[in-house]
């Protein structure tokens, strides 16, 4: 097996040939990626089920089909995205050509996550291809069946001179991170994200870090609790709570808490029956290490719904916890499992204070019919994304960037934003040579140079100042 250094060296040489840059090459590779997903829909779904025991509809709809949709959108828009954009031109450049040309970074590294082991690898890969990069793809070793299948399939559908799959655990990832990449795209937890960021910093390599955090939900009394409960519970218990944008805790008043718990009991029974363990619609925890970590969070908790678990089956019942204090273990880390704590707050202002005292979340959810409340959270909190009156759905909105801020991540992607993530926006000015104008290249002290520097720029500054004064 080639070493990480050998793979990166080969890909860099191949990238430097320029073959990944033409539209025709990028289009062919994207079509290959879509064909990979279409031809192997069943195999990919089965691999995901083997690794995570997701319900079949979850694996198919939220991973394979969603990835196909993203790739098709990229194919459809590729030619347009590749075109240089023409910004407005300042007066000295009015006769010149001013462009912003998207160019590929070079050799990119894509490190996937285990909770959505197909989607979180192939969607960034589609962006890297569309932008004209070569790529090393590192699937998560925690989902081994999916990783092995991707290693088998990708060389069959993509040009292996430019796209390589590199499998392995911590030692292999460590070796990869010693190499000099031109871009690194990482999805996973914050602790490993810091390691990736530190490794990238040694070479000043730009990064996208898609991480997570504790995503809060605020509910006020204006919201329909029945609708709210369905949307919050769906977001929390999809994939057994193992989603980076899953609602992590609820902030509401006591009356709303009581109504929510009552509604939740009915809805969970409707979805999963009397015994969620026997339901084909409910998933499992990825492994024993994560199982033990999640179950430990329930120690001493006031469990209003659920709470049962079985380590042999990696099953944790959908659970709701009340009487939660900010100092409780449930509130100290991202839960990443099927437990939903409720913290009592008096109003929107106290909820905002609570959120702002903690790390910035990947997503923030607000349930209210009050526009003023919406604007309070929009203007006085910081989060990667914000969704009003639903959960998770912003992830599928390809016209907005999906990503974190602060502790929840760096950068964003989806749709054209994925293309932009893997592209350097190269500003370009093409000057005319038909005649000479007053120019900074004229040596200082000449009359024309003095005129240029003392006439044009002061006039421009005065114009800006006048406009600013008139706007106030």
Radius of gyration of the chain (CA): 26
- Please give the full DSSP string across 12-71, using - where no structure is assigned: HHHHTTTTTSSHHHHHHHHHHHHHHHHHTHHHHHHHHHHHH---HHHHIIIIIIHHHHHH
Enter the DSSP assignment of 87.
-
Tokens of 328: 């409780």
Question: Using CA atoms, how far apart are residues 78 and 29, in angstroms rounded to an integer?
Answer: 12
Give the contacts of 59 (CB within 8 A, at least 6 positions apart). 44, 45, 48, 49, 52
Structure tokens of 362? 């990947």
CA distance 354 to 331: 11
244 is annotated as an active-site residue: yes
Residue 288 bears catalytic tag: no
What distance in Å separates the CA atoms of residue 203 and residue 467, rounded to the nearest whole number?
43
Pick the catalytic residue: 63, 70, 210, 334? 210
CB atoms within 10 A of CB 56: 14
Dist. CA 331–CA 168, nearest whole Å: 33
Token pair in block for residue 179: 């190499």
Angle at Cα 281 formed by Cα 278 and Cα 284, nearest 5°? 75
Q: Indicate which residue of 190, 215, 244, 252 is catalytic.
A: 244
Chain centre to alpha carbon of residue 44: 21
Q: Which of 127, 104, 107 is nearest to 4 (CA)?
A: 107
The contacts of residue 1 (CB under 8 Å, 6+ apart) are none
Q: Which residues are catalytic?
A: 210, 244
């Amino acid at each position: 097996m080639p070493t990480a250094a050998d793979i990166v060296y080969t890909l860099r040489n191949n990238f430097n040939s320029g073959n990944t840059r033409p539209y025709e090459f990028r289009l062919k590779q994207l079509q290959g990626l879509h064909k990979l997903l279409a031809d192997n829909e069943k195999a990919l779904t089965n691999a995901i089920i083997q690794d995570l025991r997701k319900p079949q509809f979850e694996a198919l709809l939220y991973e394979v089909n969603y990835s196909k949709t993203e790739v098709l959108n990229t194919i459809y828009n590729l030619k347009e995205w590749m075109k240089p954009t023409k910004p407005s031109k300042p007066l000295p450049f009015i006769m010149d050509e001013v462009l912003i040309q998207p160019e590929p970074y070079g050799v990119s590294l894509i490190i996937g996550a285990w909770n959505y082991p197909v989607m979180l690898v192939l969607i960034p890969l589609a962006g890297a291809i569309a932008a004209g990069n070569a790529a090393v793809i590192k699937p998560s070793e925690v989902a081994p069946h999916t990783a092995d299948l991707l290693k088998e399939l990708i060389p069959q559908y993509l040009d292996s001179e430019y796209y390589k799959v590199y499998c392995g655990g911590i030692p292999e990832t460590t070796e990869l991170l010693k190499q000099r990449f031109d871009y690194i795209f990482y999805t996973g937890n914050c602790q490993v994200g810091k390691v990736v960021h530190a490794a990238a910093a040694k070479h000043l390599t730009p990064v996208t870090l898609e991480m997570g955090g504790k995503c809060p939900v605020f509910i006020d009394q204006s919201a329909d609790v029945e609708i709210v409960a369905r949307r919050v519970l769906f977001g929390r218990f999809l994939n057994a709570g193992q989603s980076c944008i899953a609602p992590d805790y609820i902030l509401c008043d006591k009356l709303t808490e009581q109504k929510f718990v009552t509604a939740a009991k009915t809805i969970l029974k409707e979805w999963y029956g009397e015994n969620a363990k026997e339901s084909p619609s409910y998933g499992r925890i990825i492994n024993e290490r994560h199982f033990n970590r999640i179950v430990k969070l329930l120690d001493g908790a006031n469990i209003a719904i659920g709470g049962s678990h079985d380590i042999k089956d990696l099953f944790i019942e959908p659970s709701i916890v009340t009487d939660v204090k900010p100092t409780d273990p449930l509130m100290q880390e991202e839960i990443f499992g099927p437990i939903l704590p409720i913290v009592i707050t008096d109003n929107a202002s106290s909820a905002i204070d609570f959120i702002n005292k903690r790390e910035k979340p990947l997503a923030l959810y607000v349930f209210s019919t009050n526009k003023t409340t919406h604007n309070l959270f929009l203007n006085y909190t910081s989060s990667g994304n914000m969704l009003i009156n639903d959960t998770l759905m912003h992830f599928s909105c390809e016209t907005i960037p999906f990503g974190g801020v602060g502790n929840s991540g760096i950068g964003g992607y989806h749709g054209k934003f994925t293309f932009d993530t893997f592209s350097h926006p190269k500003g370009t000015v093409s000057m005319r040579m038909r005649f000479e104008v007053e120019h900074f290249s004229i040596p200082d002290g000449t009359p024309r140079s003095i005129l240029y520097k003392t006439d044009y720029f002061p006039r421009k500054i005065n114009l800006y100042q006048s406009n600013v004064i008139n706007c106030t």
